[in-house]
Amino acid sequence: MELIYVAAAIMMGLGGMGAAIGVGLLGGKLIEGSARQPELAPKLQGTFFLGAGLVDAIPIIGVGIAMYLIFVVAG
Amino acid sequence: MDLVPHTLMLAGVDYQKIVPSTDPNITMGMAIGVFVLMIYYSIRVKGFGFVKELTMNPFNHPLFIPVNLFMEVVGLLAKPFSLGLRLFGNMYAGEMIFILIAALFSVGVMWMLPAALLQIGWAIFHILVIVLQAFIFMVLTIVYLSMAHEDH
């Protein structure tokens, strides 16, 4: 039964790693694009938030399932 | 946390959550609604071309119809699935973390100040996240419907 906690930890950890790398890359492109064309900065920022939400989708599904495992399945 | 549901129970509404989207049934229900709209508009605008689009798409050869159908159906089903689960995951994880930080208050007196600061910090982040997720649900719905109205 203790292995469930390890499983949930792996789920959350790997998901977090993927999300952080993805959003970090996006943020870098945002800053670079805003530096090249400052007049497009608000539009790029809106697109950045959209992309960040999309990238976060699978890791957050993983976090939801992991929390379900910890609190409902493992008592 | 139980203030609003309890008040509503006194007013006669027996089952009301403060955040209904923490139930996957609710978010998948919304996503299935979007899926039905997608298919309805695809068939209405493209007619028989909808089936042509599903079966001939990456490889434009009649021999590849099963392969095309498989890939297109997986892509088509992934859309409402990811739409619903993304919203559910965000809402459920957000509320769960609120509850967990509140549980930190009962550990000891010295933990109350860090727990209060964490609670404030998470509340600010959560407000950003829920607005963002609502925006993403809306934008993706509109994008899928516009994809249903046009060819690849």
Range scoring the smallest mean pLDDT among A49-53, B47-51, B78-82, B93-97: B47-51
Which domain does A42 fall in, by range?
A: 3-73
**Which residues in chain A touch residue B82, judged by CB atoms under 8 angstroms apart?**
57-58
B13 part of a folded domain: no
B14 part of a folded domain: no
* Catalytic residue numbers of B, as ranges: 82, 86, 90
B19 part of a folded domain: no
* Catalytic residue numbers of A, as ranges: 56
Asked if A15 is an interface residue toward chain B (Cβ–Cβ < 8 A), one would say no
Number of domain units in chain B? 1
B48 part of a folded domain: yes
B17 part of a folded domain: no
Number of domain units in chain A? 1
B79 part of a folded domain: yes
Helices (H), chain B: 3-10, 24-46, 49-55, 65-104, 112-149
Which domain does B118 fall in, by range?
A: 25-149
**Mutate: best of A61, A67, A70, A72, partner B, most B CBs <10 A:** A61
Query: Under a CB-based contact definition with an 8 Å cutoff, are residues B136 and A50 in contact?
Result: yes
Q: How far is A68 from chain B (nearest CA, A)?
A: 9
Mean pLDDT of all residues in B93-120: 87
**Is there a contact between B86 and A60 if contact means CB atoms under 8 Å apart?**
yes
Residue A25 reports pLDDT greater than 90: yes
- Within the 90-149 window of chain B, which residues sit less than 8 Å (CB to CB) from chain A? 90, 92-93, 96, 132-133, 135-136, 139
**Is there a contact between A62 and B93 if contact means CB atoms under 8 Å apart?**
no
Q: What is the pLDDT of residues A40-56, one digit of tens each?
A: 989 998 899 889 888 98
What pLDDT was estimated at residue B22?
Answer: 85
What pLDDT was estimated at residue A34?
Answer: 93
CA distances from residue B121 to A49, B102, B103, B126 in whole angstroms, order as listed: 20, 13, 16, 9
What pLDDT was estimated at residue B62?
Answer: 77
**Is there a contact between B135 and A52 if contact means CB atoms under 8 Å apart?**
no
Rounded distance, CA A37 to CA A43, Å? 11
Rounded distance, CA B132 to CA B81, Å? 19
The better pLDDT of the pair B17, B91 is held by B91
B8 part of a folded domain: no
Q: What is the pLDDT of residues B59-69, one digit of tens each?
A: 777 788 888 88
